[in-house]
Amino acid sequence: MFINIHSHQPEIKNEFVIQNLLKDFNQLLSPGYYSAGLHPWHLESQKWQQQLVELKKISTAENILALGECGLDKVCKTDFKLQQEVFIAQILWANEINKPLIIHCVQAFSELGDLLKKYNNKTPVIFHGFNKNSRIAEKMLNDGHYLSFGKSILQLRNKVIFEQVPLNRIFLETDETNISIEEIYKEAAAIKNISLETLSLQIEKNVQLVFNINLQ
């Protein structure tokens, strides 16, 4: 089984996908699994509190497996104070409902790590679309977090980083790309120099543990 933990596209053949919802939390969900969260790109100071109420309502559903993507982004236009406020609210809520956080983070790793500590986060944290350097990877792993990789592992620099991340701290995803999750698995297995089957079984274990779901 190819498990895609973060995608903005509907499920395709041979794939177990966790689709992401960025807004419209009151829409009727088709069957399947989802993550839902307030993304830093789309925050509006007048609207987010109402959106948070809606997010809280749907996120307790059994097929919503994680809160996110949420986080901090220093490159986007959204006011950074507002980003922090909304992220804190989501850390607290994820801990209340005991679901993992899927993180969007751009140039704000230390601020984000500080907030997780300050607000006493106890739920698993997954940095999605990870394509940063090995120093940041090491720091995130030391803090107990998980890293999810997508098309970036096709690039040389990220191959080196991916090779160093322990198998029990890895997830794979397609995000917005058209590359299939199967292709990403194949590349990942090649970099790790293990069989596709070994990789699949390990990621299945990681998903069951972190997303608290039984895939059997």
The closest of 6, 56, 10, 52 to 29, measured between CA atoms, is: 10
Per the CB < 8 A criterion, the answer to whether 83 and 112 are in contact is no
> Nearer Cβ to Zn ion, position 106 or 196?
106
> Nearer Cβ to Zn ion, position 170 or 205?
170
> Nearer Cβ to Zn ion, position 76 or 196?
76
User: How deeply is 156 buried, as exposed, middle or buried, from its count of CB atoms within 10 A (0-12, 13-18, 19+)?
Assistant: exposed
> Contacts with Zn ion in 59-98 (CB under 5 A)?
none
> Nearer Cβ to Zn ion, position 73 or 175?
175
Query: Can you name the residues that pair with 35 across neighbouring β-strands?
Result: 20, 66
Q: Which long-range contacts (CB under 8 A, 24 or more apart) does 53-60 make?
A: 54/25, 54/26, 55/25, 55/90, 55/93, 56/93, 57/25, 57/26, 58/25, 58/26, 58/29, 59/93, 59/97, 59/99, 60/97
Residue of minimal Cβ distance to Zn ion: 175
> Nearer Cβ to Zn ion, position 19 or 158?
19
187 part of the interface to Zn ion, by CB under 5 A: no
Give the C-alpha separation, 40 to 186, whole Å.
32
Residue choice 37, 121, 131, 175 for contact with Zn ion (CB under 5 A): 175
214's enclosing H/E stretch is: none
Shortest CB 201 distance to Zn ion, Å? 26
Tell the residue number behind the tokens 């970099």, with chain if given: 191
Shortest CB 29 distance to Zn ion, Å? 17
How many amino acids of this chain bind Zn ion (CB under 5 A)? Answer: 1
Shortest CB 9 distance to Zn ion, Å? 10
Shortest CB 178 distance to Zn ion, Å? 14
Q: Which stretch binds Zn ion (CB under 5 A): 25-33, 148-156, 173-181, 189-197?
A: 173-181
Shortest CB 8 distance to Zn ion, Å? 6
**Residue type (1 letter), 155:** Q
Q: Give the footprint of Zn ion on this chain (CB under 5 A).
A: 175
